[in-house]
Chains A and B, each alone.
Chain A
Amino acid sequence: MEYLVSLAVLIGIYVILSSSFNLIIGFGGLISIAHPIFFALGAYTTGLLAIHCGIHPLLAVLAGGTVAFFASMMLSLPSLRISGDYLLITSIGFQLGLLEVIKHLSFTGGASGLGNIPNVVDGSSRSTVFAVVSCVVASAVVLIIRWLLTGPYGRVISAMRDDELAFSALGRNAMMIKLALFAIGSGFAGIAGGIYAYYYQYISPDQFEILQSAMLLTMVVVGGMGSHLGPVVGAVLLLLLPQAISFMNLPPSVMAPLQGVIFTTLVIIFLFWRPQGLIAPAQRQAQRKP
């Protein structure tokens, strides 16, 4: 039972991450893979505030989200003003570069990671509390993104993504929309990082490497890029799938790469045979109707 509850915590966290990543890549059309670094910034900010300042967990998690929100501008401001392809390249450099910094700073725990993050929920119901919190926050994030994208602001985002030139010709500021989308998505990733830090009480730079980017990308592509529920389905499916492999009793040295092989194979299969993912975006579904 404890195992299933821990899985629920992880599902909540990854639903936040995949939905916010979908906001950036699927709805905004911004080609970045640096989402895990904002997850890391949120986790490290929360962890450090909890260890050194002892502030209220809610404030620490919100601070994590705020740091990720503003840090995203360090990446988006220089790269977005040039062209979309540059964002992709800078995002890889930004992620690896910041992780390199974290690995060499003593106050972040260096390469060995940051431990001793205080436990904020005692007792046997600890995991249950975290599962409820992460799932509630995940639902809130999905609903906020849905609300954001179905209103007038959503139509503006769709117009910008579909034809940026025409959008700009109408006097709209595409750059501001992109910056805002990127910052909001990154802020949500920071909040997920805060919950992660409090739950696991230990974080290390290795947890936020490029492989994490691949996992999030898989969740979004398999679930359905640009659909509201796609990343949720993708996150749940791809967190449950490895559990089936775990019953094969393979050694850990084979298990981790095998999971990676399965993830990447799924992405390739979906890219060619079902590019719209398991849940097609609403617009495309509507187009198919006679």
Chain B
Amino acid sequence: MIDLSILLQIVWTGLSASSYAVLFAVAFSLVLKVVKVWNFAQAGLMALSFYAMYALHALLGLPLLASVGLGVLITIAASVFMDRFGLQTLRNRLSPNLTFFIFTLVVSEFLAYLLAMIFGTEPVALTQSIMSGVNIINGIVISNWDIQALCITAVLLALLYLFIAKTRDGQFMAAVADNPELARFYGISVKRAYLVTFVISAILVTTGMYLFGTRASVIPNTPLQMMLFAVIATLLGDMGHIFGAALAAIALSLIQGLSIFVIPSQWQGLILYVFLFVTILFFPQGVNFKKFKQLTRTPKTA
């Protein structure tokens, strides 16, 4: 018989752990939806944002908040640079999908190698201690980090929803995502839409790495595994439906946590790969989250 408090504890821990996974999944899904690129460079950008914050805070002694702010700027600069001088060149040449894939993957690995050369491969965290204060509510341990992570994620998702639904840039992004040629015909700057997409993606990625880096240690290759999670969530959450990817990331995190009841802990890592195959085989176009259509629907006015 499963103890209810243990069950609730696992659900809570899974939910809080899904916070950064949601941000990575939404960032990946957003670029896929608007720019139409499987952005595997996201793993490298995740590593870059983490080590930028680490260098500024842990090595140079800047306050954490300032380090996060500068980390965001560095990641935005790297993302925009990659889009303008890399992806844009490939788009102009009408390069095949394979070239885009090789480019994004290689950028990711280049950054991982470069960071390993500079910072080494010893695991490091953003703060000296990754322990956080805890509160016990009805027998469930709720850490301050959990509350902070869930609040930050919820606020960012709400802001993203408002941005897409209410601002002109957001609506232009939606128009470009639907049909870039038609959007261009109506005078919308596709390049600007791509730029805004990468800026938002960089903000989400850096915030996700801040949350992860204050809870666990990182090596330059850690983000690759985390990005695979984002890819699976994107596939599961109805490809290109940004908030579907977020829901899928939460579901995946909970399933991974709850799997402890049925399989030994050392095999938990495999669940992700099983999901990947099941998704590809049975849900190649993703799971249709009808209940959340309001969130995923594209704004009609552009």
Contacts and interface: CB of A to CB of B under 8 A. Distances in A.
Interface of A: 25, 29, 31, 33, 78-79, 82-86, 88-90, 92-94, 96-97, 100-101, 104, 210-211, 214, 217-218, 221, 253-254, 256-258, 260-261, 263-265, 267-268, 271-272, 275
A268 B110 contact: yes
B38 interface: yes
Interface in B154-178: none
Secondary structure class of chain A's binding surface, majority of residues: helix
A92 B273 CA distance: 9
Contacts of B113: 257-258, 260-261, 263-264
B204 interface: no
Given A260-B109, A272-B89, A90 B277 contact: yes
A178 B273 CA distance: 23
A217 B102 CA distance: 8
Nearest to B89: A272
A192 B216 CA distance: 38
Given A78-B280, A89-B280, A92-B228, 13 more contacts: A31-B97, A31-B98, A31-B101, A79-B280, A85-B97, A86-B284, A89-B235, A97-B272, A253-B120, A260-B112, A263-B113, A264-B107, A271-B99
Interface stretch (B242-250, B262-270, B288-296): B262-270
B105 A85 contact: no
15 contacts: A31-B97, A84-B97, A89-B231, A90-B277, A94-B273, A96-B228, A97-B274, A214-B105, A253-B120, A257-B116, A257-B117, A260-B116, A264-B106, A267-B102, A275-B99
Contacts of B274: 97
B270 A101 contact: yes
B289 to A, nearest CB: 20
Interface string B90-106: 00000101110111011
A85 B270 CA distance: 22
Interface in B208-258: 224-225, 228, 231-232, 235
B109 A214 contact: yes
Nearest to A79: B280
A261 B270 contact: no
Interface residues of B, number: 39
A257 B115 CA distance: 8
Contacts of B277: 78, 90, 93
B114 interface: yes
Contacts of A31: 97-98, 101
A132 B106 CA distance: 33
Nearest to A264: B110
Contacts of A104: 266-267
A100 B273 contact: yes
A88 B101 contact: yes
A85 B38 CA distance: 9
B140 interface: no
Contact of A97 (B105, B120, B121, B276): B276
B136 interface: no
A258 B120 CA distance: 11
Given A92-B228, A253-B120, A258-B117, A265 B110 contact: yes
Nearest to A213: B105
Contacts of B231: 89, 92
B109 A264 contact: yes
B281 interface: yes
Contact of A210 (B224, B266, B281, B284): B224
Contacts of A96: 225, 228, 273
For the complex of A and B, 7 pairs with smallest distance between CB atoms: A97-B273, A260-B113, A264-B110, A257-B117, A93-B276, A257-B116, A257-B113
Contacts of A78: 277, 280-281
A93 B106 contact: no
A78 to B, nearest CB: 5
Contact of B114 (A85, A86, A94, A257): A257
A264 B112 CA distance: 10
B260 to A, nearest CB: 16
Given A29-B98, A89-B280, A275-B99, A261 B114 contact: yes
Given A88-B38, A92-B228, A271 B267 contact: no
B249 to A, nearest CB: 16
Contacts of A79: 280
A217 B106 contact: yes
Contacts of A100: 269-270, 273
